[in-house]
């Protein structure tokens, strides 16, 4: 049987397509309209969701579910957030290329990668040393050179690189840590889940209007893992 309409990859001078990679590519492409249907409109955010290889950020046994719109366990009782939430938090920060962003809660590094994909310089802090190391290695391997990770308690921010154009917090506490407001630029935005640990929480949008003036607005009910205290 002659198949004349197919050019062998080798003849085309390309690497043979990896069928698993091709499946992930399709699933990633389908995630974009799914997130869009849920209300995400920012073109750059949608492009980033379509570009970042989420399956690289989840444990091997969860890879088949990497592009479903749900959170996935990453060990140590932590989770990689649902893609819709990642997109929502990215969009609401109104980012543009070159902006400096502080993330509290590196986890897998996926949210940091999405922020870097929209062109930001990302400084991200993680309280579990193992997660911080794994994320550092992963982000490096995938070429996210604009993400800098640190093993520390993020409630105190990262003063060395402050002030930040935006702050994003991916673990929920009972209040907004004052250091994070202090390290935010005037005119900057922060998105942070606030609420009781296992009860109702809301994403709060914080706008810093002046060095001593903030405006806060509750924008979405959510469920995040708790903000921890003390290095591990
Ligand atoms: N942004 C992550 C989501 C991880 S879940 C991602 O895209 O995968 C929240 C993360 O916050 C967990 O990894 C948890 O260990 C971390 N965390 C909790 N309390 C913290 C604190 N005080 N400082 C820094 N990281 C913290």
pLDDT band per the 50, 70, 90 thresholds, residue 78: very high
pLDDT band per the 50, 70, 90 thresholds, residue 94: very high
> Which tokens belong to 107?
């986890």
pLDDT at residue 14 above 70? Answer: no
pLDDT at residue 93 above 90? Answer: yes
CA gap 204, 232 in Å, rounded? 27
CA gap 178, 198 in Å, rounded? 23
CA gap 52, 120 in Å, rounded? 14
HEC string for 141-180: HCCCCCEEEEECCHHHCCHHHCCEEEEEECCEECCCCHHH
- Annotated active-site residue 96? The verdict is no
Ligand 1 centroid, distance to 3 Cα (angstroms): 52
Ligand 1 centroid, distance to 130 Cα (angstroms): 12
Q: What is the pLDDT of residue 227?
A: 96
CA gap 224, 198 in Å, rounded? 8
Considering the chain, what percentage of its residues have pLDDT values greater than 70? 93
Of 131-135, 195-199, 202-206, 213-217, the least confident: 195-199
Ligand 1 centroid, distance to 47 Cα (angstroms): 24
Q: What is the pTM of this model?
A: 0.93
For 111, other C-beta atoms within 10 Å of its C-beta total: 26
> Which tokens belong to 218?
């509750």
Q: Which atom of ligand 1 is nearest to the CA of 111?
A: 7
Residue linked to tokens 């989840």: 58
Q: What is the pLDDT of residue 199?
A: 80
pLDDT at residue 124 above 70? Answer: yes
Residue nearest atom 10 of ligand 1, based on CA coordinates:
105
Q: Which atom of ligand 1 is nearest to the CA of 74?
A: 8
CA gap 21, 79 in Å, rounded? 23
* Short-list 178, 168, 165, CA closest to 107: 168
List pLDDT tens digits, range 176-210: 999 999 999 999 999 999 998 778 999 999 999 99
pLDDT at residue 3 above 80? Answer: no
- For the purposes of burial, counting CB atoms within 10 Å of the CB of 212, is it exposed (0-12), middle (13-18) or buried (19 or more)? exposed
pLDDT at residue 9 above 70? Answer: no
- For the purposes of burial, counting CB atoms within 10 Å of the CB of 185, is it exposed (0-12), middle (13-18) or buried (19 or more)? middle
List pLDDT tens digits, range 143-166: 999 999 999 999 999 999 999 999
Q: What is the pLDDT of residue 5?
A: 52
Q: What is the pLDDT of residue 18?
A: 83
List pLDDT tens digits, range 39-72: 999 999 999 999 999 999 999 999 999 999 999 9
**Secondary structure element (H or E) that encloses residue 113, with its range:** helix 110-117
Peptide bond into 60 cis (omega under 30): no
Q: How many residues does the chain have?
A: 232
The rounded mean pLDDT for the chain is 94
Q: What is the pLDDT of residue 2?
A: 47
Of 15-24, 165-174, 185-194, the least confident: 15-24
């Amino acid at each position: 049987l002659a198949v004349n309409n197919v050019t062998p990859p080798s003849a085309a001078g390309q690497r043979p397509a990896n069928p698993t990679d091709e499946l992930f590519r399709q699933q990633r492409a389908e995630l974009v309209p799914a997130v869009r249907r849920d209300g995400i409109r920012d073109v750059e955010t949608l492009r980033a969701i379509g570009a970042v290889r989420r399956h690289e950020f989840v444990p091997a046994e969860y890879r088949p579910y990497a592009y479903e719109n749900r959170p996935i366990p990453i060990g140590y009782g932590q989770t990689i957030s649902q893609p819709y939430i990642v997109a929502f938090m990215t969009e609401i920060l109104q980012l543009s290329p070159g902006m400096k962003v502080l993330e509290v809660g590196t986890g897998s590094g996926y949210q940091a990668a999405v922020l870097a994909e929209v062109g930001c310089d990302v400084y991200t802090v993680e309280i579990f040393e193992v997660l911080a190391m794994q994320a550092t290695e992963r982000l490096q391997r995938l070429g996210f050179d604009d993400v800098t990770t640190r093993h520390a308690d993020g409630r105190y921010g990262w003063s060395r690189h402050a002030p930040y154009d935006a702050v994003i917090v991916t673990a929920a506490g009972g209040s907004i840590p004052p250091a994070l407001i202090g390290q935010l630029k005037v005119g900057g935005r922060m998105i942070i889940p606030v609420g009781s640990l296992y009860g109702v929480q809301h994403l709060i949008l914080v706008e810093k209007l002046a060095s001593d003036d903030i405006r806060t607005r509750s924008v979405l009910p959510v469920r995040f893992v708790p903000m921890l205290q003390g290095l591990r």
